[in-house]
Amino acid sequence: MAVKEMLLPVMKVHASDLARRALVVGDPKRAEQAAQLLEEPQLVGSNREYVTYTGKYAGESLTVCSHGVGASGASVCFTELLQGGVEVILRAGTCGALKEEIDDGSLVIGTAAIREDGTSDQLVPLAYPAFADAGLVQALVKSASTQAKVYRGVILTQAHLYPGLLPSTIDLWCKAGAVAVEMEYAALLVIASLQGVQAAGIFITDGNLVRKQAALSTSNYDPHREVVTQGIQRMLRIALDTLVQV
């Protein structure tokens, strides 16, 4: 079967409905939000957490899809997009800041990722690096150049959101210079690198784990504030502006 005739089995999207460049986000509602920024967006697939739209932005064909929470499920989305012919994937998501000076609603561009995602180590040994495409990172920097402050650096990807009984590694990775933490980026970078395609990520901070000086919990985590909402809208615009450059 030719690639463009393929029905991607989990995402339930025909490969012919995918653009060469894709924006991926965790939340299906955020995918809808990004799709509203496209010209004549079409819903081309919806199954489980995977909701997919294709349309045009600045005259260029782009796909937007959601991948859910966590690297395991997200890796299905990333893999099927690549199997469907996508050549560039940009992740836009939220993250927790790991630097004292990073305020909520700040932009962070991920140059690489620490592989505590719980999935990529099943694909290739942990000695293999998770690095973003340099050209795509520079395009993100250019698109975000009008913003007052943009942070760049290594992102910690962890397989869990809330802590359990085992000691957290957050302090270790803060000392090593990680700038933020999230749950899917390392898996994307590893899968893209193994397939020889471009991938990178841009994030909005929805909390600062260093300032809290306490384990993340349902009582001290609130990602639904206006500063985060406005930051997400800026981030989506920057991500789409970047995709049409590459």
**Residue 227 has what pLDDT?**
95
> What pTM does this model have?
0.96
Provide the 8-state DSSP code for 244: T
The count of C-alpha atoms lying within 13 angstroms of the C-alpha of 62, restricted to the half-sphere facing its C-beta, is 30
- Residues of the chain with pLDDT below 50 are none
130-to-121, 161, 191, 229 alpha-carbon distances in Å: 11, 20, 9, 28
- Catalytic member of 103, 133, 206, 241: 206
**Residue 214 has what pLDDT?**
67
Which one, of 187, 189, 191, 186, lies nearest residue 173 by Cα?
186
Please say if 103 is a catalytic residue.
Answer: no
Residue 41: enclosing H or E segment and its boundaries?
strand 39-47
Dist. CA 245–CA 176, nearest whole Å: 33
Dist. CA 113–CA 197, nearest whole Å: 17
Q: Domains in the chain and their CATH numbers? A: 3-243 (3.40.50.1580)
93-to-9, 12, 44, 125, 234 alpha-carbon distances in Å: 25, 23, 22, 26, 12
Q: Which residues contact 153 (CB under 8 A, 6 or more apart)?
A: 108, 110, 111, 177, 178, 179, 180
